């Protein structure tokens, strides 16, 4: 499935909705890059860029990073050669302003948003999923204390490095992130729903069931893609 340059499929969902997992599956199936603004911003922080430093306080407090900083990271990414057949955007746009800027940017280059996948998960499940999430500082693997048998010494079952809780995965911050999401991102969905682009996906099901549902809706050819 070739979307074309400056074209995107958006994966939208609250923190903990599984949007990252599903976005990665989709990218493998469609062979196009996964562009997650959270990852791009964390990468800037690791590299200590001016953008990373500017984004740090908002991220640690569970607030949204200012639109102009996020848009700068996304646009830079869309110009890289591997984005020639389109991208899956994960975690962007999160505000109506970002959505409008993205549309303008893509459409000016002959592309556009092609589909929006909205992963709907009840708020109580989101909180449960995120408070139990642990991330490996070595291999970046993501685990859940309720799902995976994790070593009692807090090491990664895959590579043996240290597992940590992301600073923004603490309960008070999570509640704030979910509230921020509900407040800011709903208008984004409404914006794309007006154009008939939104697929409502039940995100409370098993990972594989959701994956098949998404591929089927986008291509109608699950079996040939997976």
Chain residues in the site for ligand AMP (CB under 6 A): 15, 37-38, 41, 58-59, 62-65, 70, 91-94, 98, 168, 177
**192-211 in b/e burial notation, b at 16+ Cβ within 10 A?**
beeeebbeebebeeeeeebb
Task: Quote the least distance from Cβ 168 to ligand AMP, whole Å.
Answer: 6
DSSP three-state, residue 2? coil
Task: Quote the least distance from Cβ 149 to ligand AMP, whole Å.
Answer: 25
DSSP three-state, residue 50? helix
Q: Which residue is nearest to ligand AMP (CB)?
A: 38
**80 a catalytic residue:** no
The one catalytic residue among 166, 170, 175, 205:
166
Beta strands in the chain (DSSP E): 7-13, 34-36, 87-90, 112-120, 133-136, 142-144, 163-164, 198-202
Complex with ligand AMP: residue 142 or 162, whichever CB lies closer: 142
DSSP three-state, residue 135? strand
**42 a catalytic residue:** no
Complex with ligand AMP: residue 66 or 110, whichever CB lies closer: 66
DSSP state of 108: H
Nearest to 107 by CA among 31, 6, 36, 213: 6
The one catalytic residue among 19, 77, 129, 134:
19
Task: Quote the least distance from Cβ 66 to ligand AMP, whole Å.
Answer: 7
**177 a catalytic residue:** yes
**133 a catalytic residue:** yes
Complex with ligand AMP: residue 70 or 201, whichever CB lies closer: 70
Which positions are annotated as active-site residues?
Answer: 19, 94, 133, 166, 177
């Amino acid at each position: 499935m070739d979307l074309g340059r400056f074209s995107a499929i958006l994966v939208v969902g609250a923190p903990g909705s599984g949007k990252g997992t599903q976005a990665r599956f989709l990218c493998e199936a469609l062979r196009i890059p996964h562009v997650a603004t959270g990852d791009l911003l964390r990468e800037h922080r690791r590299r200590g860029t001016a953008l990373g430093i500017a984004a740090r306080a908002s991220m640690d407090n569970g607030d949204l990073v200012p639109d102009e900083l996020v848009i700068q990271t996304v646009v830079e990414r869309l110009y890289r050669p591997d984005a020639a057949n389109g991208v899956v955007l994960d975690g962007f746009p999160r505000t109506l302003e970002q959505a409008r800027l993205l549309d303008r940017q893509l459409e000016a280059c002959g592309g556009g948003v092609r589909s929006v996948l909205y992963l709907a998960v009840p708020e109580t499940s989101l909180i449960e999923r995120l408070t139990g999430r642990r991330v490996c500082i070595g291999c970046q693997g993501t685990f859940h204390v309720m799902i995976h048998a994790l070593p009692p010494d807090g090491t990664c079952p895959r590579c043996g490095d240290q597992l940590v809780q992301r600073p923004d995965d603490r309960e008070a911050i999570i509640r704030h992130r979910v509230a921020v999401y509900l407040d800011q991102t709903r208008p984004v969905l409404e914006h794309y729903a007006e154009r008939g682009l939104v697929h409502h996906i039940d995100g409370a099901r098993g990972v594989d069931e959701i994956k098949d549902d998404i591929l089927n809706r986008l291509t109608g050819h699950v079996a040939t893609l997976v």
